[in-house]
């Protein structure tokens, strides 16, 4: 079978000479470039049936047609080799295939290719959709949790003023801050001592927020009425500092109060620890080492570490919890000793048959337990996510207690008469109410700038008026959480102390040789023989 022939120009141009152009069948020796078999033109013992030869390109390579077709078919089967399948490896000429390739086959093959393209597009878009859907639902869950946490923490009334249940009223920052809340809460459980307390994000984020939505407009309308605004006048002077200086503003408290209290608490805790355990709370150096490691390691290892601490290195865990212990007021430290005793009794009852990890021996033993234990991981994450609910519960407990103690009421800054009881909270932007707008517009650029700065600083340092004048639920929640953490630490310390005492007091009971044949014993000479 001849596919193509090399036509020399001279033969084409000189029909008279009629020189015959040789084909593959005119070769004396045929050598297949694929299988390397040779065939002589006059071979008598030729293969039976004779195999077809082909010369598919413009150079001298020839091949068995079956070999070539097999090569083409194989090469076309792999996408990386397909471009070279129909090409001579020596001269690069394209092979021409003659086959039964009616338009219907071309059509179907073309359709198949189009479908393939569409299919891969669909794969990409489908994957993107799945990722988006998962991401969106995660985002929604996180945001919902964030909103719930904020509401738990600052109280329903403030929440309705600042955020409301309707996300369409939220400022754009809320859509970033809220979903980050659960993440920062969880992360704070896995971070070391010097990281910010989980409450700080909430405190820092919300004070400068202004009321939003329909409710806010209604508030302004309410306070604009003459009979109400006179009352407002008595409430607010024009100085930026709120009429009440206690409790401190959230920003002020989280920037300065928390670190100081945390420091005091930590030293108190270390002191108490030393008194109870007889050894120093020697975590500082180790903790530093751990942190160095932690930065280099992946999340997987972080989890393992977290678990190791959960299992055994309780002193470390103690230290880990420090960020959350920060809210405790120094005056509450005295309660600790009493609480230790109480807690000790409870735990003694609960743990008598247990042999909990304690002290250095247990730490060493627990080092070996580098297995992820799902429950303890869940305990960590779950505990972190429970913080808003715990602080809210503790806050309302404090509130109930404050009904019986005026001192506590003062400390918590409970304002029963102010909040929703008599009239709604005033909006934070009092400028409009006091007719400052006119003054604002009349002022020059510099003065406007100064006024803006003043207002901004006032909002930052003093909190907005909304914060300052509302019932400070956030404050008693913070104090409550601090108390909770202190209590938890005390229980933990008691647990440690009891476990350590149990270990130290261990003795193996000594028995006499009752029941043993006395003749088998090598006794001292003075022992009375029977």
Partner 1 sequence: MASISARRLAKELREIQGEGCPVGISLLKADDFATWWFSIEVMGESLYQNEAYTLQFRFDSQYPISSPAVQFVVTDGKQAPIHPHVYSNGHICASILGNEWSPVLSVVAVCVTLQSMLASCKKKERPTDNDRYVRTAPENPKKVRCHLPKSVSSANSFPDTIPL
Chain residues that interact with partner 1, rule: CB under 8 A: 31, 33-37, 60-61, 67, 70-71, 74, 78, 80-81, 84, 89-90
Rounded to whole angstroms, what are the CA distances from 112 to 105, 115, 302?
Answer: 10, 5, 50
Q: Which tokens hold the place of 103?
A: 């338009």
Q: Which residue, 74 or 342, is less far from partner 1 as judged by CB?
A: 74
User: What is the largest distance, in Å, between two alpha-carbon atoms of the chain?
Assistant: 146
Q: Which is nearer to partner 1, 75 or 281 (CB)?
A: 75
Q: How far is the CB of 205 from partner 1 (least distance, A)?
A: 43
Bridge partners (DSSP) of residue 63 are: 54
Peptide bond into 509 cis (omega under 30): no
Q: How far is the CB of 74 from partner 1 (least distance, A)?
A: 5
Cβ-based neighbours of 393, under 8 Å, separated by 6 or more: 480
Tokens at 242, concatenated: 């709120």
Question: Nearest approach, Cβ of 80 to partner 1 (angstroms)?
Answer: 4
Closest contact distance (angstroms) between CB of 116 and partner 1 is 20
**For partner 1, the closer CB: 90 or 120:** 90
Tell the smallest beta-carbon distance from residue 55 to partner 1 (Å): 13
- 322: nearest Cα among 379, 281, 372, 373: 281
Nearest to 228 by CA among 418, 424, 464, 419: 424
Q: How far is Cα 33 from Cα 347, in angstroms, rounded to an integer?
A: 88
Q: Which is nearer to partner 1, 27 or 304 (CB)?
A: 27
Q: Which is nearer to partner 1, 78 or 239 (CB)?
A: 78
Beta strands at 53-54 and 63-64: parallel, antiparallel or unpaired = antiparallel
In the complex, minimum distance from the CB of residue 119 to partner 1, in angstroms, rounded to a whole number: 23
37/367 with CB nearer partner 1: 37
Q: Which residue, 36 or 404, is less far from partner 1 as judged by CB?
A: 36
3-state secondary structure string across 25-78:
HHCCEEEECCCCCEEECCCCCCCCCCCCEECCCCCCCEEEHHHHHHHHHHHHHC
d(CA 314, CA 493): 9
Nearer residue to partner 1 within complex by CB, 87 or 294: 87
From the CB of 477, what's the least distance to partner 1, in Å?
A: 51
Least spacing, CB of residue 79 vs partner 1, in Å: 9
CA distance 423 to 426: 9
First to last CA, the chain: 122
């Amino acid at each position: 079978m001849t596919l193509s022939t090399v036509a020399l120009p001279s033969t084409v141009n000189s029909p008279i000479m009629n020189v015959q152009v040789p084909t593959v069948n005119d070769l004396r020796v045929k050598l297949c470039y694929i299988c390397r078999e040779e065939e002589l033109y006059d071979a008598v013992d030729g293969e039976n049936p004779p195999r077809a030869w082909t010369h598919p390109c413009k150079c001298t390579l020839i091949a068995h047609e079956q070999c070539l077709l097999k090569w083409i078919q194989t090469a076309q089967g792999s996408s990386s080799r397909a471009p070279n399948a129909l090409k001579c490896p020596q001269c690069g000429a394209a092979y021409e295939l003659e086959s039964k390739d009616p338009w219907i086959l071309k059509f179907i093959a073309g359709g198949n290719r189009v479908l393939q393209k569409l299919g891969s597009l669909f794969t990409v878009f489908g994957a993107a959709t799945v990722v988006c859907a998962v991401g969106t639902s995660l985002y929604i869950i996180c945001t919902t949790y964030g909103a719930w946490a904020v509401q738990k923490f600052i109280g329903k009334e403030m929440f309705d003023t600042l955020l409301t249940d309707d996300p369409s009223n939220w400022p754009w920052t809320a859509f970033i801050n809220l979903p980050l809340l659960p993440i920062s809460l969880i992360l704070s459980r896995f971070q070391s001592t010097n990281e910010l307390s989980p409450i700080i994000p909430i405190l820092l984020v919300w004070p400068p927020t202004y009321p939003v939505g329909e409710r806010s407009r209604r508030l302004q309308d309410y306070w604009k009425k003459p009979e109400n605004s006179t009352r407002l006048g008595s409430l607010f002077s024009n100085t930026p500092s709120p009429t009440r200086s206690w409790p401190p503003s959230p920003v002020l408290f989280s920037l300065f109060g928390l670190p100081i209290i945390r420091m005091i608490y930590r030293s108190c805790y270390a002191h108490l620890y030393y008194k109870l355990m007889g050894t120093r709370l020697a975590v500082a150096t180790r903790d530093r080492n751990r942190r160095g490691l932690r930065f280099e390691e992946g999340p997987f290892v972080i989890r393992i570490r977290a678990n190791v601490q959960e299992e055994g290195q309780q002193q470390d865990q103690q230290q880990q919890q420090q960020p959350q212990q920060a809210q405790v007021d120094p005056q509450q430290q005295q309660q600790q000793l009493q609480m230790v005793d109480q807690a000790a009794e409870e735990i003694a009852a609960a743990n008598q048959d247990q042999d909990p990890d304690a002290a250095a021996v247990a730490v060493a033993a627990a080092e070996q337990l580098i297995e992820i234990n799902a429950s303890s991981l869940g305990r960590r994450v779950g505990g972190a996510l429970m913080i808003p609910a715990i602080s809210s519960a503790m806050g309302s407990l404090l509130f109930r207690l404050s009904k019986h103690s005026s001192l506590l009421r003062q400390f918590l800054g409970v304002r029963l008469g102010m909040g929703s009881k008599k009239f709604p909270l005033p909006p934070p932007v009092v400028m409009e109410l006091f007719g400052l707008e006119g003054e604002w517009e009349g002022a020059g650029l510099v003065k406007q700038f100064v006024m803006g700065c003043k207002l901004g600083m006032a909002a930052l340092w003093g909190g907005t008026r909304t914060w300052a004048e509302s019932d400070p639920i956030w404050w008693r929640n913070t104090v409550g959480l601090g108390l909770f953490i202190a209590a938890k630490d005390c229980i933990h310390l008691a647990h440690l102390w009891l476990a350590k005492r149990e270990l130290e007091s261990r003795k193996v009971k000594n028995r006499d040789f009752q029941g043993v044949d006395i003749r088998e014993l090598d006794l001292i000479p003075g022992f009375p023989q029977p």
